[in-house]
Structure 1
């Protein structure tokens, strides 16, 4: 594992040292569009993970309103 990390760092340094500038222009429209697309993908993945994790946590903490509503109504109260 350690040798692989060292090898990848050396390889990255070797390839990174010999690069030339791309001379490419990213205008404000393309830049904001790219940032918006990246943020959209990242936030949707985070929201999906949160949604998957939140339901079991909510049930574990007893925050389920349907469950509390059923316990509040007792048969002798009706």
Structure 2
């Protein structure tokens, strides 16, 4: 079997898979309010945890920088004693 035939076979398989996925199929399932709200809660939880992780990674360097600036500003001002 040559490479050309394998390549065309893969193209045909990909095209067949895309056509099959594009056709509407009847879903004999019921998504009740509990499952729907649970799915929404899971999606919001994942998005929230990602945002919280990004905030945590960015917050500590910013906090350290602000602490250094405050210490430098306090050291540069003369004391009022």
Q: Is the TM-score greater than 0.5? A: yes
Q: Where in structure 1 do 4 or more consecutive aligned residues deviate above 4 Å? A: none
- CA root-mean-square deviation: 3.1
Larger Rg: 1 or 2? Answer: 2
Question: Greater relative contact order: 1 or 2 (C-alpha under 8 angstroms, separation 6 or more)?
Answer: 1
TM-score by length of 2: 0.56
- Give the match for residue 21 of structure 1: 26
Q: Distance in 2 between matches of 1:11 and 1:55?
A: 51
Does 2:41 match 1:36?
yes
Structure 1: gaps (5+ residues): 1-6
